[in-house]
């Protein structure tokens, strides 16, 4: 089996193996790594019953030349051993929500789809780091679902430590409980500043010679170690639909921010998953839909605006560069885009709940509205799958305001409230972060 190489979107850097792309994150020329070919998924994906089984097949297709089959199977078991059910909305034939399906990607430990990428990347990093004696430190700034997924995904993985920065007082109570839960190998810093301060501090740390010995690395959504595993649940959705006799092919609606999830879906489609069309459903941060309509160029990317679907508050999607590199000719044929404001999102959340009894998180609600608009605009009323990216109980205020119903927190979410809390408060400066990172915590 020939190994897949990863080249930079900016093409200044020589192609590298998966391990290098994974451990470096960004290419040295500042570009994003893209595979030089996209492998076909082995046909057996259609009969695979679990996400873990599809994952083992997918990892073999992508990494079979780089690692032992047994290691990849064990990795899939460890990283992807939770359900991702495809749920059919309960709507009569002919009604607006008929033939709409929801792929629930929030059954992992921290209740968002970020668990898939973060858990996989952590285990891939442990596998490909080799028997390097030096531990790695993953440094992340977070305001949303990524932080808890990364902290949980990397916790206790041998040879890897995590340092997490979040703006104290600027995340929701549920999010904070998840971020400060004590975990082996994880230090959480409550920064006395904003999310932008956190990001600036992290950026400065990466180029700080005093911190070189810590071997800092990042786990953000541009990393191929997150991207590739996220392509597997697309196949899992279609395998479930086949088994249930629901459909063979469908349009797929992706609630989007940084466009990592859409890019992963494109990899799945190239690998043979019968996705008719992608719908990129954005909140008020509508650069990408405007680009697809030919109304904006890359120069129109700008600062983000805050919305109720805060994990998608991205003004300058980092995977845009990768998508346009991989599909330079026909991106607008493959993807249809729409931008949904908070008021419409709330109204849709309520309508779907009233009509079908399904309680969605605000990000998923943006996707449901995207499905409705796509169907109306295209006339394609075939099956549509909406990715449910987070559990509604992570956003209890927005969901209750929209529907009058408080989402029931699953036990593992409720358990965060009573977990031991561990965080260190630091000033919003690079000096404070440097000093904190250099103090050995034992
Ligand atoms: C991160 C996130 C998104 C956006 O995903 P991208 O890959 O950045 O487009 C959507 N919904 C939720 C709940 C998220 O956490």
Residue 252 has pLDDT above 60, yes or no: yes
Residue 191 has pLDDT above 80, yes or no: yes
User: Which pLDDT does position 222 carry in this prediction?
Assistant: 87
Whether 312 is in the pocket of ligand 1, judged by its Cβ within 6 Å, is: yes
Whether 138 is in the pocket of ligand 1, judged by its Cβ within 6 Å, is: no
User: Which pLDDT does position 30 carry in this prediction?
Assistant: 85
Cβ 434 vs Cβ 208: under 8 Å: yes
pLDDT tens per residue across span 330-373? 999 999 999 999 999 999 999 999 999 999 999 999 999 999 99
Residue 28 confidence class, pLDDT cut points 50, 70, 90: confident
- Nearest to 300, CA basis, from 289, 308, 309: 289
User: Which pLDDT does position 291 carry in this prediction?
Assistant: 97
Whether 257 is in the pocket of ligand 1, judged by its Cβ within 6 Å, is: yes
Quote the CA–CA distance of 102 and 371 in Å, as a whole number: 11
Residue 133 confidence class, pLDDT cut points 50, 70, 90: low
Average pLDDT on 280-292 reads 97
**Six-digit token string for 281:** 């459903």
Residue 223 has pLDDT above 80, yes or no: yes
Residue 184 confidence class, pLDDT cut points 50, 70, 90: very high
Tell me the C-alpha to C-alpha distance, in Å, between residue 38 and each of 6, 69, 217, 219, 259: 11, 19, 26, 22, 18
User: Which pLDDT does position 219 carry in this prediction?
Assistant: 86
Average pLDDT on 398-406 reads 95
- Nearest to 54, CA basis, from 332, 283, 243: 243
Whose structure tokens read 């900016």? 10
Cβ 42 vs Cβ 235: under 8 Å: no
User: Which pLDDT does position 442 carry in this prediction?
Assistant: 43
HEC readout, 227-270: HHHHCHHHHHHHHHHHHHCCCCCEEEEEECCCCHHHHHHHHHHH
Average pLDDT on 225-247 reads 97
Tell how far the Cα of 257 is from the centroid of ligand 1, in angstroms: 6
Residue 253 confidence class, pLDDT cut points 50, 70, 90: very high
Whether 258 is in the pocket of ligand 1, judged by its Cβ within 6 Å, is: yes
Residue 132 confidence class, pLDDT cut points 50, 70, 90: low
SS3 112: strand
- Cα angle 374-378-383, degrees, rounded to a multiple of 5: 65
Whether 167 is in the pocket of ligand 1, judged by its Cβ within 6 Å, is: no
Ligand 1 nearest atom to the CA of residue 261, by list position? 7
Average pLDDT on 220-241 reads 95
For residue 23, what are the β-bridge partners?
none
What is the DSSP-derived secondary structure letter of residue 418?
Answer: G
Task: Give me the chain's average pLDDT, please.
Answer: 94
User: Which pLDDT does position 302 carry in this prediction?
Assistant: 85
**Six-digit token string for 190:** 């409550």
For residue 164, what are the β-bridge partners?
140, 188
Cβ 340 vs Cβ 370: under 8 Å: yes
Quote the CA–CA distance of 356 and 354 in Å, as a whole number: 6
Average pLDDT on 6-10 reads 95
């Amino acid at each position: 089996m020939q190994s897949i190489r990863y080249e930079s979107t900016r093409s200044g850097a020589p192609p590298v193996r998966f391990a290098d792309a994974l451990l470096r994150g960004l290419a040295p020329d500042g570009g994003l790594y893209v595979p030089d070919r996209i492998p076909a998924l082995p046909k057996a994906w259609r009969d695979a019953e679990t996400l873990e089984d599809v994952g083992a097949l997918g990892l073999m297709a992508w990494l079979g030349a780089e690692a032992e089959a047994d290691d990849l199977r064990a990795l899939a078991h460890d990283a992807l051993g939770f359900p991702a059910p495809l749920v059919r909305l309960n709507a009569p034939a002919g009604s607006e929500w008929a033939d709409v399906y929801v792929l629930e990607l929030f059954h992992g430990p921290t209740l968002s789809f970020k668990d898939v990428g973060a858990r996989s990347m952590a285990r891939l990093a442990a596998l490909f780091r080799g028997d390097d004696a030096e531990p790695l430190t993953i440094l992340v700034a977070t305001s949303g679902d990524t932080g808890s997924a990364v902290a949980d995904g990397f916790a206790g993985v041998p040879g890897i430590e995590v340092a997490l920065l979040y703006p104290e007082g600027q995340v929701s109570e549920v999010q904070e409980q998840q971020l400060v839960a004590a975990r082996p190998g994880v230090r959480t810093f409550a920064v006395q500043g904003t999310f932008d301060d956190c990001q600036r501090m992290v950026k400065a740390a990466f180029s700080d010679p005093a911190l070189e010995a810590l071997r800092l690395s990042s786990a953000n959504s541009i990393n191929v170690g997150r991207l590739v595993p996220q392509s597997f649940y697309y196949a899992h959705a279609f395998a479930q639909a086949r088994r249930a006799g629901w459909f063979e092919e469908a349009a797929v609606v992706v609630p989007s921010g940084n466009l990592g999830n859409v890019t992963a879906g494109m990899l799945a489609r190239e690998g043979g998953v019968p996705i008719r069309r992608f719908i990129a459903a954005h909140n008020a941060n509508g650069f990408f839909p405007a680009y697809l309509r030919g109304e904006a160029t890359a120069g129109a990317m700008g600062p983000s605006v805050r919305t109720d679907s805060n994990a998608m508050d991205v003004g300058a999607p980092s995977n845009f560069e990768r998508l346009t590199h991989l599909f330079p000719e026909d991106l607008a044929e493959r993807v249809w885009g729409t931008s949904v404001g908070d008021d419409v999102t709330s109204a849709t959340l309520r309508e779907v709940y009233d009509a079908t009894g399904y309680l969605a998180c605000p990000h998923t609600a943006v996707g449901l509205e995207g499905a409705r608009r796509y169907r109306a605009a295209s006339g394609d009323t075939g099956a549509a799958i909406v990715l449910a990216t987070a559990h509604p109980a992570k956003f209890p205020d927005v969901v209750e305001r929209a529907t009058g119903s408080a989402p029931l927190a699953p036990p593992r979410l409720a358990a965060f409230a009573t977990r031991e809390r561990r965080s260190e408060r630091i000033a919003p400066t690079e000096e404070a972060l440097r000093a904190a990172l250099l103090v050995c915590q034992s």
